[in-house]
Structure 1
């Protein structure tokens, strides 16, 4: 590679780190890539760290030792989070989103790469210190949010299915009770998906009573693994008592009134354990 000036190296380091969130990249890699001394690169990384902190777009961590290096952890300033979620609530309050039956149309938000990426970054920020090995979700609407959370955490995404697929080989299936309808439902996961003793995060688009999340916890027990965090985009106000505890929700849906064309939704107390 052509020898780069400091400002060019700093830009390249930011690009490499942001493309590989939560991954330790050694100084040796940068030294070889830029043909620069480690002492010089340490100064470059100090500049990168200062810029990231100034922009409040995450943080840079350095790890000492022969196997050490530097990694970028995505994040958003609390103020930016609040503004973003207020904006989402404003979008969801549009009466045109009301679907017969008291449901709320959210597909355009969930499947927007820009929006789901920010949601994933916010959720990842609450779980990164729990050192998860996987992010789990149940097909299908939670997938975009879950995959963006998995990207920010830099761990694999695992999709739990409602029924088993031949292409997944041997599977583990469990029955669970839906918290809202009280109906027996089934979820299935390939035996090859999760390694024994793993730590998992469950991410979904909506939680009503928490039956699906409770089912995921039971399913992971079949793999001798643990759900160490639960994150949802929206939780329903009712029922007040959920089937799971210790979860993070970004917004709370209080009610959808079809007759009045009224949607009451607001940001949750983010990060508060429920």
Structure 2
């Protein structure tokens, strides 16, 4: 997606050789037109997978997962990171570290919203080390649902997250792959 690459080059801030800040397009502010284009591309890539739901992790994955679910005409389900007063007490939970937040959080999905009949397409914003992604994959496995693929806006190739999912036999489709952030420069994998 050349449009996405151009926006990354225009709006990203490189904080270190491991961290790229994308607040202007993904993580704090959302560009609706770009987000809908990303959703259309994920729908194109995964349409034949037969997803019955799109799933993501709260919160930065929600806009692009919503756009994808809208294009596929299926519900969107997201794993919560914070327990609320009205949260379903009967839920799947996984404790996962967050690379960018530097904390450990719990991912929670209500058992009433996942069933063995579900075919889930997992959509997320960025994959670095993949801890949250692997946590949600474990929840999906415990529910008995089938994971039909993982679409991610940005894969940071220099971190192991996406490769660990591929090693599990999961189909991983990034829209953009970043090979390096060394020297304050974004280098895309072609």
Name the residue aligned to 1:264: 187
Structure 1 stretch 195-204 or stretch 147-156: which is displaced more?
195-204
Between the aligned partners of 1:177 and 1:242, the Cα distance in structure 2 is 18
**Is the aligned partner of 1:252 residue 2:177?**
yes
CA 1:228–1:114 in 2, change beyond 3 Å: closer, same or farther?
same
Between the aligned partners of 1:127 and 1:222, the Cα distance in structure 2 is 23
Alignment of 1:15-94 (within 5 A): 85-94=1-10
Name the residue aligned to 1:229: 149
Show structure 1 runs of 5+ residues with no match. Answer: 1-84, 269-274
Between the aligned partners of 2:155 and 2:165, the Cα distance in structure 1 is 12
CA 1:214–1:106 in 2, change beyond 3 Å: closer, same or farther?
same
The structure having more radius of gyration, on CA atoms, is 1
1:124 is paired with a residue of what secondary structure?
helix
Name the residue aligned to 1:200: 120
TM-score (norm 2): 0.82
CA 1:177–1:158 in 2, change beyond 3 Å: closer, same or farther?
same
Aligned residues of 1:234 and 1:249 also touching (Cα < 8 A): yes
Structure with bigger RCO (C-alpha 8 Å, 6+ apart): 2
Name the residue aligned to 1:243: 164
2:115 is paired with a residue of what secondary structure?
coil
Name the residue aligned to 1:46: none
Q: Deviations over 1:85-117 (max 9, x none)?
A: 2232123224x6324345323233231110000
Name the residue aligned to 1:14: none
Aligned residues of 1:93 and 1:262 also touching (Cα < 8 A): no
1:166 is paired with a residue of what secondary structure?
coil
TM-score (norm 1): 0.59
- How far 1:155 moved relative to its partner? 0.5
CA 1:185–1:237 in 2, change beyond 3 Å: closer, same or farther?
same
Name the residue aligned to 2:15: 100
Aligned residues of 2:43 and 2:68 also touching (Cα < 8 A): yes
CA 1:179–1:243 in 2, change beyond 3 Å: closer, same or farther?
farther
Structure 1 stretch 236-245 or stretch 213-222: which is displaced more?
236-245
CA 1:148–1:180 in 2, change beyond 3 Å: closer, same or farther?
closer
Between the aligned partners of 1:211 and 1:242, the Cα distance in structure 2 is 12
Show structure 2 runs of 5+ residues with no match. Answer: none
CA 1:210–1:130 in 2, change beyond 3 Å: closer, same or farther?
same
Backbone CA RMSD of aligned residues: 2.6
Q: Deviations over 1:134-156 (max 9, x none)?
A: 10010111111000000000000
Name the residue aligned to 1:127: 46
Aligned residues of 2:121 and 2:149 also touching (Cα < 8 A): yes
